[in-house]
Amino acid sequence: MTLYLSRLRMARNPQVAALAQLLNPSDANRCLDAHHRLLWSAFATGEQTARDFLWRHDGRDGFLVLSARVPQASPFFEPPQVREFAPVLKTGDRLAFTLRANATRTRVMERDVASGKQHKAHVDLVMDALHTVGPGERAERRMTLAQEAAEHWMARQGEQHGFRLDQVTVGDYSVLTVPVDARRGKGQPRFGVLDLSGTLTVTEPVVFLHRLAAGFGRAKAFGCGLMLIRRA
């Protein structure tokens, strides 16, 4: 599969500027949903188009995107800067990485008696760890617990996806809530976001590249999962 790494910047024209508060709101939660929708303008080709790209916000008006298709022209973006993403990796290569991730584990719930199916819940690792300490300790221990959760999660990712974690540092941990139309009658999706950086050693190049293309963790539609790499 051919992949493309693109840099997209919002168009600097009066029409887009007039929509700034809708396309790039200052509130972090509203911004998350707006960007989720905005990126589709460069990739959607029809109502049934499946998402085949990863993205992350890279500054006030910029985005990095890894995709299976070249982004199409959009009135909301400047012409994209696109290059083919085809790193040549071998076992033992050491890479520096950055990753914005929603780190979870799957918890099996009770079996539904009527259908026989088991319900599963995706548990945010840092939120879960914070619930083990008293409310008065959470602010003080938040980043320590986030660091511990990130180390365990990234080590497991490596075991499954072709690399060995050398070290990882948590730059930030935040909890975001996706705005949802109240008429849908559903709760608002809420998830934690870890901003990670570190180094890793490639153990299985093909497996690792496949996971780079697919993304790490959950909440990929909302700017998580894209690992950026460079030679360490």
76 in the same domain as 154: no
| 72 and 170 in a common domain | no
40 and 99, same domain (yes or no): no
pLDDT in tens, the chain (232 residues): 689 999 999 998 888 888 888 888 888 888 888 898 899 889 877 666 778 899 999 877 899 999 999 998 888 999 999 999 999 999 999 999 999 999 998 876 665 556 666 667 788 899 888 888 878 888 889 899 999 999 999 999 999 999 999 999 999 999 988 776 544 545 677 889 999 999 999 999 999 999 999 999 999 999 999 999 999 9
CB count within 10 Å of CB 22 equals: 11
Kindly state whether residues 99 and 33 are assigned to the same domain.
no
Residues 100 and 200 occupy one common structural domain: yes
* Domain CATH code at residue 226: 3.30.70.1210
Residue 126 belongs to a domain: no
Report pLDDT for 48. Answer: 65
With beta carbons less than 8 A apart as the criterion, state whether 34 and 19 touch: no
Same domain, 101 and 214: yes
Do residues 190 and 220 both lie within one domain? Answer: yes
Q: Say which CATH number the domain at 80 has.
A: 3.30.70.1200
pTM score of the predicted model: 0.87
DSSP for the chain reads --EEEEEEEB--SHHHHHTHHHHS-SSHHHHHHHHHHHHHTTT--STTPPP-EEEEE-SSSEEEEEESSPPPP-TTBPPPEEEEE-----TT-EEEEEEEEB-EEEEEEEEPTTT-PEEEEEEEHHHHHHTTS-GGGHHHHHHHHHHHHHHHHHHHHHHHHTEEEEEEEEEEEEEEE----GGG--PPPEEEEEEEEEEEEES-HHHHHHHHHH-SSB-GGGT---EEEEE-
Output the pLDDT for position 159: 97
Do 45 and 101 lie in one domain? The reply is: no
C-alpha 203/C-alpha 39 separation (Å) is: 33
Which residues have C-beta within 8 Å of that of residue 124, sequence separation ≥ 6?
102, 103, 104, 191, 192
115 occurs within a structural domain: no
Is 52 in the same domain as 165?
A: no
Residue 13: give the domain boundaries: 3-85
Q: Indicate whether 101 and 76 sit together in one domain.
A: no
- 215, part of any domain: yes
How many other β-carbons are positioned within 10 Å of the β-carbon of residue 104? Answer: 20
Looking at the structure of the chain, the number of domains it has is: 2
- pLDDT of amino acid 47: 62
For residue 185, the model assigns a pLDDT of 47
Residues 101 and 205 placed together within one structural domain of the fold: yes
pLDDT tens by residue, 198-218? 999 999 999 999 999 999 999
The pLDDT, as a whole number, for residue 13 is 86
Structure tokens at 31: 């911004």
The answer to whether position 129 is within a domain reads no
8 A C-beta contact, residue 104 and residue 220: no
Asked whether residue 99 falls in the same domain as residue 190, the answer is yes
Which H, E and C letters describe 86-132, residue by residue? CCCCCCCCEEEEEEEEECEEEEEEEECCCCCCEEEEEEEHHHHHHCC
Residues in the chain: 232
Q: Is residue 181 part of a domain?
A: yes
Q: Output the pLDDT for position 119.
A: 67
The pLDDT of residue 114 is: 62
Is 171 a domain residue? yes
- For residue 128, tell me if it sits in a domain: no
